[in-house]
Amino acid sequence: MVLLLLAGTMICFGVVLPDSLSDHNKLVHFSAHFGMSFLLAFCFYMVCTVSMRISKLFSYTVLIIATLFIGVIYKYWEIATQGMIGSYSFHTIVDRTGVMTSMSQNISGLAGAMLLIEGLVDRNLASSVLRSGNMNLKNRELQIRNMSNTMNSMNIHTPVVQGGSLPAGSQFSPTSSEK
pLDDT tens string 95-111: 888 888 888 889 999 99
Give the pTM: 0.63
What are the domain boundaries of the chain? 2-132
The beta strand positions in 78-157, using DSSP E, are none
Do the beta carbons of residue 160 and residue 174 sit within 8 Å?
yes
What whole-number distance in Å separates Cα of residue 60 and Cα of residue 107? Answer: 13
What whole-number distance in Å separates Cα of residue 178 and Cα of residue 175? Answer: 5
What whole-number distance in Å separates Cα of residue 73 and Cα of residue 165? Answer: 57
3-state secondary structure of 61: helix
What is the CA angle 89-91-94, rounded to 5? 110
Confidence of residue 177 (pLDDT cuts 50, 70, 90): very low
**Which of these, 136, 143, 178, lies nearest to 161 by C-alpha position?**
178
Confidence of residue 176 (pLDDT cuts 50, 70, 90): very low
For residue 172, the model assigns a pLDDT of: 46
Do the beta carbons of residue 92 and residue 54 sit within 8 Å?
no
Q: Is 2 exposed, middle or buried (0-12, 13-18, 19+ CB in 10 A)?
A: exposed
What does the pLDDT look like over 34-80, one tens digit per residue? 999 999 999 999 999 888 988 989 999 999 999 999 999 999 998 88
What whole-number distance in Å separates Cα of residue 139 and Cα of residue 116? Answer: 27
What does the pLDDT look like over 80-93, one tens digit per residue? 898 888 888 888 88
For residue 47, the model assigns a pLDDT of: 92
Among residues of the chain, what percentage have pLDDT more than 70? 69
Query: Is residue 178 pLDDT above 50, yes or no?
Result: no
